[in-house]
């Protein structure tokens, strides 16, 4: 008996190689995929302005990266003690304005250099709803718990989204002609908007993306909500995909988008990361010390075989564990 409705979709033509840098931007689902890629040893940079849900804010974030935008004190505002910027998530807010500016500007400069050498850019669109700041006259990334009457909530039209994403793709191709651009729609349902409203929102995102040319669409939304489709694949809130669901989406992404020749190295890196998290009953035991030394030797060997790998953090962790 068949308990789900599996479906097939085309693989990307030029698959990602392990030596290539990958940039990600978008909703919280981006964080999950970025973590899987990092655990598999890929060089990853993500969410320059923090988690972003609407497509206009994603486009603004990438524009800042390309132009190496450096924010100034007069572009911040203070609310509830913290200094914020309307284009950034609250992860970049701080009690001191100088600290907030440092976080924002340093990340932009770092990601400018990273995106210039990346071979893949993956964008996860979360919602077609966007909040328009009435006084500033801009669509914001985050409302920073400001009063609701400061904003107008808009459901963006398909044409507005398509045009913004087309301009995004054109700017990226000019900035980095070797870039392969991926789009996906977050499978997380925005139930605070209402279920009907959420479906209208997701439909507009899907339609806009499918009007783009020379991009690859990875169907994360369809995998979770149509193929898996059962609440056993969701967290307690019945909204966010759980570990089994995100793991399944990762496996589908891996087979569709990553060169199978790199699977053994990815598994090796995943094993090393699991070893780094391993907690021994007694770290002083000879068996534990030998285990950590063996993992350190594996790191050194892999860096010798694959010069692009930087396993300094893992080596530092293993050396620290052996010194306890």
Q: Which domain holds residue 292?
A: 278-324
- What is the Cα–Cα distance from 32 to 170, expressed in whole angstroms? 27
Q: Are residues 152 and 240 in the same domain?
A: yes
Tokens 């995909």 belong to residue: 241
In a domain, 123, yes or no: yes
Q: What is the pTM of this model?
A: 0.94
116: in domain = yes
pLDDT in tens, 29-51: 889 999 999 999 999 999 999 99
DSSP bridge partners of 181: 121
> Residues 289-292: contacts with CB within 8 Å, 24+ apart?
289/322, 292/318, 292/321, 292/322
Same domain, 189 and 305: no
Are both 207 and 73 inside the same structural domain? yes
What percentage of the chain's residues is helix, strand, coil (to nearest 5)?
A: 50, 15, 35
The answer as to whether 3 is a domain residue is no
Residues 187 and 303 placed together within one structural domain of the fold: no
Domain match, 223 and 301 both: no
In a domain, 242, yes or no: yes
pLDDT at 308: 93
Is 224 found in the same domain as 159? Answer: yes
Within-domain flag for 5: no
Neighbours of 247 (CB within 10 A): 13
Bridge partners of 130, per DSSP, are 154
Tens digits of per-residue pLDDT, 209-259? Answer: 999 999 999 999 999 999 998 999 999 999 999 999 999 999 999 999 999
117 and 234, same domain (yes or no): yes
Measured between alpha carbons, how far is 75 from 165 in angstroms, rounded to an integer?
25
The number of distinct structural domains making up the chain is 2
Q: What is the pLDDT along the chain (324 residues), one digit of tens a residue?
A: 677 787 899 999 999 999 999 999 999 888 999 999 999 999 999 999 999 999 999 999 999 999 999 999 999 999 999 999 999 999 999 999 999 999 999 999 999 999 999 999 999 999 999 999 999 999 999 999 999 999 999 999 999 999 999 999 999 999 999 999 999 999 999 999 999 999 999 999 999 999 999 999 999 999 999 999 899 999 999 999 999 999 999 999 999 999 999 999 999 999 999 998 888 777 788 888 889 899 999 999 999 999 999 999 999 998 988 876
In a domain, 37, yes or no: yes
Q: Check: CB of residue 223 under 8 Å from CB of residue 231.
A: no
CATH number at residue 99: 3.40.50.1110
Residues 289, 253, single domain; the answer is no
Do residues 122 and 30 make contact, with C-beta atoms less than 8 angstroms apart? yes
Residues 160 and 42 in one domain: yes
User: Are 226 and 101 part of one and the same domain?
Assistant: yes
Task: Please indicate, yes or no, if residue 154 is contained in any of the structural domains.
Answer: yes
Residues 231 and 310 in one domain: no
Q: Is residue 199 located within the same domain as residue 80?
A: yes
Q: Is residue 13 part of a domain?
A: no
- Structure confidence at residue 324 (pLDDT): 63
Cα separation, 56 vs 140, in Å, equals: 9
pLDDT value at position 71? 98
């Amino acid at each position: 008996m068949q308990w789900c409705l599996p479906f097939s979709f085309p693989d990307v033509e030029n698959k990602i190689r392990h030596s290539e840098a990958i940039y990600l931007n978008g909703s919280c689902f981006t964080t999950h995929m970025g973590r899987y890629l990092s655990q598999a040893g890929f060089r990853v940079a993500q969410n320059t302005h923090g988690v972003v849900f609407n497509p206009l804010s994603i486009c603004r974030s990438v524009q800042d990266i390309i132009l190496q935008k450096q924010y100034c004190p007069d572009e911040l505002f203070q609310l509830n003690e913290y200094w914020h910027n309307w284009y950034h998530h609250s992860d970049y807010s701080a009690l001191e304005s100088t600290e907030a500016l440092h976080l924002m500007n340093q990340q932009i400069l770092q990601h400018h250099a990273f995106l210039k050498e990346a071979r893949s850019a993956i964008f996860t669109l979360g919602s077609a709803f966007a909040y328009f700041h009435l006084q500033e006259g801009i669509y914001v990334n985050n409302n920073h718990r400001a009063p609701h009457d400061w904003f107008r909530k808009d459901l963006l039209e398909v044409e507005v989204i398509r045009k913004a994403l087309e301009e995004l793709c054109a700017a990226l191709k000019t900035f980095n002609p070797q870039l392969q651009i991926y789009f996906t729609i977050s499978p997380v349902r925005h139930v605070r908007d209402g279920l009907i409203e959420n479906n209208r929102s997701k439909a507009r995102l899907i339609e806009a993306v499918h009007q783009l040319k020379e991009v690859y669409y990875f169907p994360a939304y369809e995998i979770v909500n149509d193929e898996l489709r059962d609440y056993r694949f969701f967290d307690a809130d019945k909204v966010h995909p759980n570990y089994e669901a995100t793991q399944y989406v990762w496996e589908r992404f891996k087979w569709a988008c990553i060169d199978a020749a790199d699977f053994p190295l990815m598994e090796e890196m995943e094993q090393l990361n699991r070893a780094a998290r391993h907690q021994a009953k007694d770290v002083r035991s000879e068996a534990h010390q030998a285990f950590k030394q063996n993992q350190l030797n594996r790191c050194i060997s892999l860096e010798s075989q694959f010069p692009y790998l930087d396993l300094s953090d893992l080596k530092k962790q293993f050396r620290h564990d052996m010194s306890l």
